[in-house]
Chain A
C-alpha cells in the first residue's frame, strides 16, 4: 500500500517548524475532525457509539461504499464517473423487475451483463475515443435515466412475494453475524485494494492516471487500462444494485439520483485526489464511513434535514481544503 500513497505526512526536514506541525495537522485534519465529531455525537446521543448503531451505519454506508470502491479506481486512472447514480437506478429497476419475470438467478445474471455493457460504453468512449470523462458520464447520467423511465414506464417496481425469495439474502441476510451488504463491501474493498497495490495491473492504472504520456511511452496500453476501470466501476454498481433492490424489495426509477455526489463526497473525504494518479481504496472506505457517521450522528441529534446537508458539505469542502493545504504544505496560499 505504501507504494500507492504518493502524498504523505510531511516529515519536517531539519528544523521542527510551525510548518511541520501545520502539515501534520493538514494531513490528519479530517481524522482529527472525525474523532472530535464522534466524541461530540456520543456526548449528545448515548446510542451513537452503541454496537447496534455502528452496525446500522456501516450497513447503510455499504451501498455508497461499494460504488465508491469502483469509482476510486476510475479516479486513480485519471477520469471521473458521474453516471453511477443513474446506473444504480437502472440496475436496481432491472433486477427487481426481472426477478418476478425470469427468476432471481437469471435476473441477476442479466442485470450484471447489461450493467457491464453500460460500463463498456463509458469505457469505450473515454478510453478509446478519448472523450472527456466528465462530459461523457454526465451525458450518460441523463441518457440512462431516460432509458430507465422508458423501461419502467414511470412506474415503481416491486417484488411481489417478498417473504419467500432467496433474493432477500443480499440486502437483509447475515453470514456469521455480519450483514451481507457489509460483507460485500468489505470483500470488494479488500480484493480491489490488493489488485491496485500489489499487481502490475494496479500499478499501470496509477501510472496512467499520474502521467498518461509517460505511461504510454513506457509501453502501457492506456486505452485498455481506462476501459477496464469503467468495467470495474460498472461491476461495483451492479453489486450495489443487488444490495439496494434486495434491501428495499422494490425500486423507484430515480432511486440512485444523487448517489454520484455522495460517492464523490466519500472518496474526497478519504483524501483521494480528483486529479488522478493517487489515492487508495482503504481511504475511500474510511471516507464513506465518515460520511455515514456524520449523517447518522446529525440525525440522532435530531437536526433538521437542511442542517444535515449543510454540515455534510461544509465538512467535505473542509476536507478538500485540508487535502490541498497538505499538498501545498501550508493552510493558506501566500499569493493570489
Chain B
C-alpha cells in the first residue's frame, strides 16, 4: 500500500516535471482487492502493461484491499490530485456511489470496471467496462441444457453472497434455464464463496442429500473444481456434468481431461485492456455506449484449442 502510494507520488512528480505534461493523461485506478485472487492480480499487471504501451498515459494505481471506506478515501485522493479520469473496481456497488458522484461534480469522468454499481449511480459515470455476468449465466444455462439434453436434476454453487457478480451469474443462469430448459430442475443453491474448499464441502453435503444429481453449475471454475473433487471422492463424478464460469487454469485442464463439460472464458487481460481503452475513449470525447462489455465466449472440449490456457 505504502509502496503504491510512493509510486503514485513519484508518478505525479514525474508528470509535473515532464515538459509534455499538457498532452499526457493521468488516469487513476482504485481496485477492489488485488492479491487475494489470481484474477485481480493478473488484471493489475495487465493494466500496468497496457498503460506502459500508451505513450501519453500516466497511471496512479491504488487498491482498496476490499475495504469500502478505504476505497472512498482513495476516490477523494484522486479527486484532490485532479487526475483526468478515474477507473474504479467497486468494492461495493452501493456504498461507492457518493464518492463517484463527488468525482462527477468535480468534472472528472468515472469509468466503472469489472463489477457494476447500483442503478442509482449510473447517471454519474461516464461508462462501464467489463464482462456481462448476466450473459455469462445465460451461456452457462444453455451449455447445461445442451449437455443434459433438456432433462435432469442439477445443483448450483454460487459465489460470495451479496457480491454483484455472483448474483448476476446466478440470476442469468436461473432465468435462462427455466425458460429454455423446463425439463431441468434446479434442486438447490448454496454459496461456495469463490472458495474451492468451501465448494467441496457444500458438494459433499449435496451428494449426501441427493441420490441423483445430473449436473452442477458453479459460479467460477475454482469452485467447480472443488465440486468435481467432491464427486470424484464419492465415486459419482462420471454421472455428473460440471459447468462453471471464469475459466481458471485448473478448469481448463479439467476440460482437457474430459472431466469438466465447459465454462465461460473470461480473460483478466481483456478486462484490464478494455477498461483502459474505455477510459481513453472517454477522454478523447468519443461517443460511447454506457455499457461496454467485452466478449466472454463459451468454452468446451470442442473449442478448447482456440483459447490459451489461463495464466491464473
Contacts and interface: CB of A to CB of B under 8 A. Distances in A.
Contacts of A249: 229
A250 B201 contact: no
B205 A296 contact: yes
A156 B200 contact: no
B161 A306 contact: yes
Interface string A140-167: 0000000001000111101000000000
Contacts of B38: 154-156
B238 to A, nearest CB: 15
Contact of B197 (A45, A155, A255): A255
Contacts of A149: 35-36
Contact of B36 (A47, A244, A254): A254
A301 B196 CA distance: 22
B153 interface: no
Contacts of B209: 45, 47, 300
Contacts of B229: 247-249
Contacts of A53: 208
Interface in B160-219: 161, 188, 190-191, 195-197, 200-202, 204-205, 208-209
Contacts of A254: 36-37
Contacts of B225: 250
A50 B197 CA distance: 23
Given A155-B38, A305-B191, A56 B249 contact: no
Contacts of B40: 154
A330 interface: no
Contacts of A250: 196, 225, 250
B53 to A, nearest CB: 22
Secondary structure at chain B's binding surface: helix, strand, loop or mixed? helix
B248 A156 contact: yes
Contact of A155 (B201, B202, B312): B312
Contacts of B208: 47, 50, 52-53, 56, 300
A327 interface: no
Given A154-B40, A244-B197, A172 B312 contact: no
A193 interface: no
A243 B2 CA distance: 36
A309 B224 CA distance: 23
A242 B183 CA distance: 43
Contacts of A23: none
A312 interface: no
A252 to B, nearest CB: 6
Which among B41, B188, B202 has the greatest number of chain A C-beta atoms within 10 A? B41
B170 to A, nearest CB: 13
B200 A252 contact: no
A110 to B, nearest CB: 22
Contacts of A153: 41
Interface string A50-76: 101100100010000000000000000
Interface residues of B, number: 31
Interface in A1-56: 45, 47, 50, 52-53, 56
A248 B188 contact: no
Nearest to A53: B208
A50 B204 CA distance: 14
B197 A248 contact: yes
Contacts of B258: none
Contact of A252 (B42, B188, B196, B233): B196
A182 to B, nearest CB: 14
Nearest to A157: B38
B190 A305 contact: yes
A154 B34 contact: yes
B296 interface: no
B4 to A, nearest CB: 13
A247 B200 contact: yes
Nearest to B225: A250
B263 interface: no
B222 interface: yes
B226 interface: yes
A60 B204 CA distance: 9
Nearest to B257: A163
A53 B41 CA distance: 38
Nearest to B188: A302
Nearest to B161: A305
Nearest to A146: B35
Interface string B146-162: 00000000000000010
Given A248-B200, A305-B191, A154 B41 contact: yes
A276 B175 CA distance: 54
Contact of B250 (A158, A172, A305): A158
B174 to A, nearest CB: 15
A172 B66 CA distance: 34
A253 interface: yes
A299 B312 CA distance: 31
A255 B195 contact: yes
Contacts of B249: 158
Contacts of A244: 197
B36 A154 contact: yes
A300 B205 contact: yes
20 contacts: A149-B35, A154-B38, A154-B40, A154-B41, A156-B222, A156-B248, A156-B250, A244-B197, A247-B197, A247-B200, A247-B229, A249-B229, A250-B196, A250-B250, A252-B195, A252-B196, A254-B36, A255-B197, A299-B205, A306-B161
Interface of A: 45, 47, 50, 52-53, 56, 60, 149, 153-156, 158, 172, 244, 247-250, 252-255, 296, 299-300, 302, 305-306
Given A154-B36, A250-B225, A300-B208, 13 more contacts: A47-B209, A154-B37, A155-B38, A155-B42, A156-B222, A156-B248, A156-B312, A158-B249, A252-B37, A253-B36, A254-B37, A299-B202, A300-B205
